[in-house]
Amino acid sequence: MKPRWPRRLPPRSLYGRAALILIVPIVTIQLVVSVVFIQRHFEGVTRQMTNNIVIEMSYLLRQVNAAGSLAAAREKLSALQGPLEMTVVLPADGPVGEHRWFYDLSGRQVVRTLHKRFGDVRGVDLTSDRGLVTVLLGTRYGPMRVTFIRDRVTASNPHQLLVLMILTSVLMTVIAYFFLRRQLRPITKLASAAEEFGKGRSVPYRPRGANEVRAAGRAFVDMRARIERQIEQRTLMLSGVSHDLRTPLTRLKLDLSMLDDQEAAGPMLRDVDDMERLLDGFLAFARDEATEAPEETDPVALVSQTVENARRAGHEVALVSVEAPEGATAMLRPRAAARALENLVGNAARHGSRVEVRLVVTERMVRIVVEDDGPGIPPERREEALRPFTRLDAARNQDGGGGVGLGLAIAADTARIHGGSLNLGQSESLGGLKAELLLAR
């Protein structure tokens, strides 16, 4: 298996990756320019300037070695050091070591050139005085110390190019960042609008930015409008279906109640009641409070009220734990969320004798866990249990009364319109079904 860790190295955000795309080429160009231009060009210039000094120092060295005595050699040096702008001491009054700062690249070239051109260089000092170069050469009358200014062997102000290059790079990076930020802002707003719509919240959005971003934004706006129009049409259609079907069912129920043989009419009345119950369940699932506007909701109060309503209905339901910051709220559709929780609690109470509810509110999610001590649902059938009108008679105990198979489907649909999910599992504490309802804040 190939390791996956390198995929996590780049930044995950679009800003980070775009900034990396900008910074890496700039840094690479700086390194290439530094190595190719500064090292080669300035070292070449330093080598040429040092060779000029070498010519003058070679002339001094020949004059000294050709003199008949030390006094004659000093006399010649006294006449030459002025015009050559050098200070010469013969014999030298002390040793001169090899001294150079580690970051002095041009100084390295000066030392290398001096050693290459002279056979008897006993020391080159570039650190005692930053503005001077001191060289110790061997002669027939002893060591000769030659001192001259550093500017004669080094290009003046080589650091200016580096400073200019760095400042220009920083300036262009800042300009590119603001330009990139302006270009990425429409993408960020589009992502935010899509994320909010996924949570069931419609926020104002107008396509902006480059042509490609505008095209994606217009496609999103059209898609959102179609979905909202479809939800509205579905709600209107179901309202009409509810009105049209309830009227004949009511007449049929009234006619059956007026029959003389009530014993024979009893089964038919129960069938009519089942039809009404199925119709109510279908309408509740299809409508799913999709047109309800999200609002700031106290999840603790919502869960507590639902548990209290279940207790008043005679169910053994307990809110065993609440983990939520003080005064925490969430943008929820309160009626839809309450109905989803009621379905989960009612489903658990119908198939078990004991129900426990837990609430956890995090920075991004509202997590509600409902557990029971019933028979549970086998893992291979949990996905099937979330489908509408699915009744797992073989898996769940039906002694407490059957439903129409919409409780879990409604809860799952409510979780989806809130940008969350419904997960089914095995309760570790009670042994039955564990339903985890996740709603985005």
Burial of 381 (0-12, 13-18, 19+ CB in 10 A): middle
* Confidence (pLDDT) at 397: 47
How many residues does the structure list for the chain?
A: 441
Which amino acid does the sequence have at 225?
Answer: A
Nearest to 300 by CA among 286, 319, 279, 274: 319
Total Cβ atoms within 10 A of residue 207: 17
Please tell me whether residue 89 adopts helix, strand or coil conformation.
strand
Taking the C-alpha atoms of residue 33 and residue 23, their distance in angstroms, rounded to an integer, is 15
Q: Domain spanning 295-440 has what CATH number?
A: 3.30.565.10
Class of domain 14-156: alpha beta
Token pair, residue 278, equals 């199925």
Please tell me whether residue 203 adopts helix, strand or coil conformation.
coil
- DSSP assignment of 49-62 equals HHHHHHHHHHHHHH
The model's pTM: 0.52
List all residues 6 or more positions away from 349 whose beta carbon is below 8 Å from its beta carbon.
310, 315, 316, 317, 355, 372, 400
* Confidence (pLDDT) at 286: 58
* Confidence (pLDDT) at 435: 92
* Confidence (pLDDT) at 356: 93
CA angle 378, 380, 381 (to 5 degrees): 70
Taking the C-alpha atoms of residue 216 and residue 208, their distance in angstroms, rounded to an integer, is 10
* Confidence (pLDDT) at 1: 45
Backbone angles phi, psi at 118, to 5 degrees: -110, 140
- DSSP assignment of 102-115 equals TT-HHHHHHHHHHH
Helix axes 70-80, 43-66, angle to 10 degrees: 140
Domain boundaries, the chain: 14-156, 295-440
Q: Do domains 14-156 and 295-440 have the same CATH topology?
A: no
Strand-pair partners of 370: 357, 435
Tens-binned pLDDT, residue by residue, of the chain (441 aa):
455 555 555 677 777 777 777 778 878 887 787 777 766 777 788 888 999 999 999 999 999 999 989 999 999 999 998 899 999 999 888 888 888 888 787 788 889 899 988 888 999 999 888 889 999 999 999 999 999 998 888 876 556 666 777 788 788 878 888 888 888 888 888 888 888 887 667 788 888 888 888 898 999 889 988 887 877 777 777 667 766 777 788 888 887 877 777 777 778 888 887 777 777 766 665 555 555 678 889 999 999 999 998 888 888 899 999 998 888 899 888 888 888 899 899 888 888 889 999 999 998 899 999 999 888 888 888 888 887 766 665 445 444 445 556 678 888 888 888 888 899 999 888 889 999 999 988
* Confidence (pLDDT) at 204: 86
* Confidence (pLDDT) at 177: 80
Distances in Å between the Cα of 79 and the Cα atoms of 85, 122, 230 are: 11, 24, 104
Taking the C-alpha atoms of residue 410 and residue 341, their distance in angstroms, rounded to an integer, is 10
* Confidence (pLDDT) at 282: 65
Total Cβ atoms within 10 A of residue 411: 25
* Confidence (pLDDT) at 401: 45
Which amino acid does the sequence have at 413?
Answer: D
